[in-house]
């Protein structure tokens, strides 16, 4: 298994880089991950709240959770790892940032185009007319929120069991297959189809570098697994 120096050399030499981030990259900004400590809200598991079934059963409860998450995220700021990816984007002729995060911290750090596989917590979608709009109010004045058409509004995110936004997975696969280096940062890599991009990039010939505080199911198959916080390791890798 390669070490940090080897990984830095691969990254320096690569013209084409793709990055996939997960909740772990925002952990040092104070945003709880789903898996690991601190991810629970009132004893509910995220898998019991981030589903279409939970929303159909109790939209107010689901919205209370999202309101709490929006409050937590609003207090947070991008960290050194988010900023390092902005720098990497500037350096590389071909660069794609794929994220599973919905928190908007990559946008706030200054990243350009971002493939948000799981949507954006700062957007709303009407379940009746399909309208889609940004909303950064914290806290939301009335739960559950409603659209101007009177329809019930849902968060603009992808829930467990739902398909990803049209065409986005294709774009992510294209970037993963074209990349010389594929960087995987702060994801437990258990949520599909996003996790499938890791073996896909590897089979397509990319050097895969993982950064995580813990080993994951893919650590043994990547070319380099760096153990530690993204905010410390990513700046060192650059
Ligand atoms: P996850 O919670 O399943 O896993 C987080 C991973 O990050 C773990 O493997 C953990 O070991 C690692 N980690 C924790 N702190 C780290 C650090 N400082 N540096 C590097 N790694 C660290 O998250 P996931 O894999 O992204 O999948 C969960 C789903 O939850 C995603 O679909 C995502 O949409 C959603 N989610 C998003 C946010 C967010 O937007 N910030 C937060 C929680 C969950």
Query: Which CATH code fits 32-75+119-157?
Result: 3.30.1600.10
- Residue 123, classed as helix, strand or coil, is strand
Give the distance (Å) from ligand 1 centre to CA of residue 216. 12
Per-residue pLDDT, 43: 81
Task: Give the span between the Cα atoms of 131 and 149, in whole angstroms.
Answer: 9
Per-residue pLDDT, 1: 73
- The C-alpha angle with vertex 174 and arms to 158 and 29, in degrees rounded to 5, equals 50
Instruction: Catalytic residue, from 106, 118, 174, 192: name it.
Output: 118
User: Residue 50: which of 155, 128, 149, 151 has the closest Cα?
Assistant: 155
Parts of the chain belonging to CATH 3.40.50.1220: 1-30+77-118+165-238
- CATH topology classification for 1-30+77-118+165-238: Rossmann fold (3.40.50)
- Residue 185, classed as helix, strand or coil, is strand
Give the distance (Å) from ligand 1 centre to CA of residue 187. 5
Per-residue pLDDT, 37: 66
CB–CB of 185/208 below 8 Å? Answer: no
Q: Which atom of ligand 1 is nearest to the CA of 102?
A: 40
Q: Which atom of ligand 1 is nearest to the CA of 103?
A: 40
Per-residue pLDDT, 42: 80
Mutate to test the pocket of ligand 1, among 19, 22, 172 (most ligand atoms within 8 A of CB): 22
Give ligand 1 pocket residues (Cβ under 6 A).
22-24, 26-28, 31, 33-36, 100-103, 118, 186-188, 191, 211-214, 216, 229-230
Question: Residues in the chain with pLDDT < 70?
Answer: 37-39
- Residue 15, classed as helix, strand or coil, is coil
118 is catalytic: yes
Give the distance (Å) from ligand 1 centre to CA of residue 148. 34
Residue nearest atom 39 in ligand 1 by C-alpha distance: 101
Parts of the chain belonging to CATH 3.30.1600.10: 32-75+119-157
Residue nearest atom 35 in ligand 1 by C-alpha distance: 101
Per-residue pLDDT, 40: 74
Task: Give the span between the Cα atoms of 89 and 132, in whole angstroms.
Answer: 28
Per-residue pLDDT, 185: 98
Per-residue pLDDT, 174: 98
pTM of the predicted model as reported, rounded to 2 decimal places: 0.96
């Amino acid at each position: 298994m390669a070490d940090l120096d080897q990984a830095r050399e691969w990254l320096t030499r690569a013209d084409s880089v793709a990055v996939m981030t997960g909740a772990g990259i925002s952990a040092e900004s104070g945003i709880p991950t789903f898996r690991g400590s601190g991810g629970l809200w009132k004893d509910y598991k995220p898998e019991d709240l981030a589903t279409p079934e939970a929303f159909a059963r109790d939209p107010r409860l689901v919205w209370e959770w999202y309101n709490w998450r929006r409050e937590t995220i609003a207090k947070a700021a991008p960290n050194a790892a988010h900023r390092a990816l902005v720098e990497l984007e500037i350096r590389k002729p071909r660069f794609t940032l794929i994220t599973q995060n919905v928190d908007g911290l990559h946008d706030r750090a200054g990243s350009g185009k971002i493939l948000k596989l799981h949507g954006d917590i700062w957007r709303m979608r009407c379940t009746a007319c399909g309208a889609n709009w940004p909303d950064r109010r914290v806290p939301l004045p009335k739960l559950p929120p409603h659209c101007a058409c009177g329809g019930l509004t849902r968060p603009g995110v992808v829930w467990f069991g739902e398909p990803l936004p049209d065409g986005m997975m294709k774009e992510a696969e294209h970037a993963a297959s074209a990349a010389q280096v594929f960087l995987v940062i702060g994801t437990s890599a258990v949520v599909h189809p996003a996790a499938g991009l890791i073996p896909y990039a590897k089979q397509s010939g990319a050097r895969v570098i993982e950064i995580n505080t813990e080993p994951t199911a893919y650590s043994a198959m990547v070319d380099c697994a760096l153990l530690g916080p993204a905010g410390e390791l990513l700046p060192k890798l650059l």
